[in-house]
Amino acid sequence: MTDACEFTPPADACALPGTSPAAISDVDPAHEGRSWQGPGAGARLGILRRAKSIAIVGASNNPARASYFVGTYLLSSSPYDVYFVNPRETTILGEPAYASIADLPVVPDIVDVFRKNDDLPGVAREAVEAGAKSLWLQLGSWNEEAASIAESAGLDVVMDRCVKIEHARFHGGLHLAGFDTGVISSKRQVVSR
């Protein structure tokens, strides 16, 4: 009898009927031409555990924007010091907004980026110049030039992942966004600031 922990499902176990992973990647233009390999779950957890501060570049005061939602979550449900970077704002979520990464009062551990693709190499250079430890490009953001700039300077790089989702996933808080974590506990998550 095989131990349940030793079971490895076939690679296409989660594929839709009539599709295979190869067929899906062939028709998904978002993954076409990608050669960079991102860090695994353990490395992403390590980045989040080592971090004390996060700068959200491209932060917005618009509640419909993903950066606003991420900022709200990080301020209320994480231990990080959160800094907002947007040259067009003076405050975001009641916190000061800074014109650039260089204007921050601290060197951010993670530079979390919500900017268009063409801006990403420049933001990577700013993160390097500021001495940041990690460059994190949000869901939908993928720029191998930016990754190369950051990695060449020794920064950890994460692309096409959401800091909020990753933090919540590792800390049992996905239920805050309507996700079922599968964790049953009578304890509430307590975050000290």
Rg (C-alpha) for the chain, rounded Å, is 18
Q: What are the φ and ψ backbone dihedral angles of 167, each rounded to 5 degrees?
A: -60, -45
pTM over 0.85: no
Residue bearing tokens 């050669």: 35
pLDDT in tens, 134-155: 999 999 899 999 999 999 999 9
Q: 54 or 16, which is more confident?
A: 54
Which pLDDT score, from 0 to 100, does residue 32 have?
63
The chain-wide mean pLDDT, for the chain, equals 80
Query: What angle (nearest 5°) sits at the alpha carbon of residue 32, between those of residues 114 and 66?
Result: 20
Which pLDDT score, from 0 to 100, does residue 14 have?
35
Q: What band does 173 get if pLDDT is binned at 50, 70 and 90?
A: low
Which DSSP state fits 136?
E
Q: 26 or 175, which is more confident?
A: 175
Residue 29 has pLDDT above 80, yes or no: no
What DSSP string runs through 57-119? Answer: ET--S-TTSHHHHHHHHHHHHSS-EEEEE-TT-SEETTEEEESSGGGSSS--SEEEE---GGG
Residue 40 has pLDDT above 90, yes or no: no
* Domains contained in the chain, CATH given: 45-172 (3.40.50.720)
Which pLDDT score, from 0 to 100, does residue 10 have?
39
Which pLDDT score, from 0 to 100, does residue 36 have?
72
Q: What band does 21 get if pLDDT is binned at 50, 70 and 90?
A: very low
Contact between 94 and 36 (Cβ < 8 Å): no
Residue 25 has pLDDT above 70, yes or no: no
Residues 6+ apart with CB under 8 A from 177: 73, 164, 165, 168
pLDDT in tens, 76-118: 988 999 999 999 999 999 999 999 999 999 999 999 999 999 9
